[in-house]
Structures are given as structure tokens and as C-alpha cells.
A = this chain, B = another copy of it.
Amino acid sequence: MDKKGILIVVSGFSGAGKGTILRELLEKYDNYALSVSATTRKPRPGEEEGKAYFFKSNDEFEKMIAKDELIEYAKYVDHYYGTPRAYVEEKLKEGKDVILEIEIQGAIKVKEKFPDTLLLFITPPTIAELKRRLISRGTESMEVIEGRLLRAREEAKGMDRYDYLIMNDELDTCVEEVHRIIEGERRRSFRNLEFIENMKRELKGE
């Protein structure tokens, strides 16, 4: 069937375990590539250029915007964050399924530009469980946790715009489920229009 990769957006509440799931997924299967964002914020210790982010000056970033070199971008506080188009398109052409880990506003912009984008939302089984996970990390103040829950409330408003909701109850099961859903998506009719056209042509050759 058609060989181009699938563009995938993964979002989810902070504390839902997105990061761990994606790390496992990339380690376990070689059909995935993680998109690297561009940003104007300064690198933190240990962050490598082209791995954590592509670090850009404000001027460079605004030139990328002007040239439509970003699939989506947003400004948080004083810094730009965006998804460079070139890397994504190159990997898709190679047949890789490219994963963007971005939030809902970005997800919607990407879907507008690329309607075939697969939107996945990772959720804990319950909000009680989400709170438990945020608290048990023990690294964040109650204030930060409250902030995250407030943000979750905003994010929940967009849950129904995602194609799939995947519950992260047990890590390995969840990783496997994400992978199977993506594998299944390869069989969607709208991703196989070339195959359909070939079938029709062959049948007319009758």
C-alpha cells in the first residue's frame, strides 16, 4: 500500500506520561522519528543543538515564519517555539512516521495544513490518578501542581478534537496500543487512494 509516513501529533495532560511513552515507542520500533522544535530561548545545560531543540535568534526565527518554514509556531512568554517543516517533510518522504509532541493550539494548526495528520491524546484513567502522579513525583510545589491542573482543565476542552484518546494506565500496554493504533491507521482508505486507483485501473483492464 502507500509508503509515505504518517504525521502524528501527540498531546496530553502534563503528568499523563507522554514523554515516557514516546521514548519507549522510539526505542522499540524503528518506523518513528521525533520532530525537533525550533526555539528562541537559550539552551539549558546539557541541551544539544538539533537534539533538544534547534536554537535560533529572534531574527532567524522571524525569517523562518516569513518564509513559511514552520508548520506551526507559538510565542510563550518571551520566546518563540515552532516545528520546522523541512525535517518533518524529509522524514515523511523517507517513510518514517513523524511525531510532534505539541499542545492543542499547535495540533489544530497542523491538522489545518495537513488534514491527514493523526491526532493522539494521552490521558490518565482518571483525574484522581493524574493528581496522584503529579504529587508523587515529589519535585513540584503544590502551587505548580495546581497550575498544571488548571491547564489540564483548558486542555480537556479540546480532547474531542483528537482522533484517539489513549489511556495510560500501564506503560507497556499503552506503548503497544499507541503503536497498534498507528499501524491500523495505515489501512485507512484515505491514506490508500493510490492503491484504490490501481485496483480500479486493473479491474477496467479486464
Which residues of A are in contact with B by a Cβ distance under 8 Å?
1, 121, 123, 126-128, 149-150, 152-153, 156-157, 159-167, 177, 180-181, 183-185, 187-190, 192-193, 195-196, 199-200, 202-206
Contact = CB atoms under 8 A, between A and B. Distances in A.
Contact of A199 (B159, B177, B199, B202): B159
Contacts of A167: 1, 187
A97 B128 CA distance: 30
28 contacts: A1-B165, A1-B167, A121-B189, A123-B199, A126-B199, A127-B199, A127-B206, A149-B206, A153-B204, A156-B199, A156-B200, A156-B203, A159-B189, A159-B199, A160-B189, A160-B193, A161-B189, A162-B189, A163-B188, A164-B184, A164-B189, A165-B187, A166-B187, A167-B187, A177-B187, A180-B180, A181-B184, A184-B184
Top-10 shortest CB links A-B = A127-B202, A181-B184, A153-B203, A184-B184, A164-B187, A159-B196, A156-B200, A180-B180, A160-B189, A162-B189
A73 to B, nearest CB: 26
A190 to B, nearest CB: 7
A163 B189 contact: yes
A185 to B, nearest CB: 8
Contacts of A153: 200, 203-204, 206
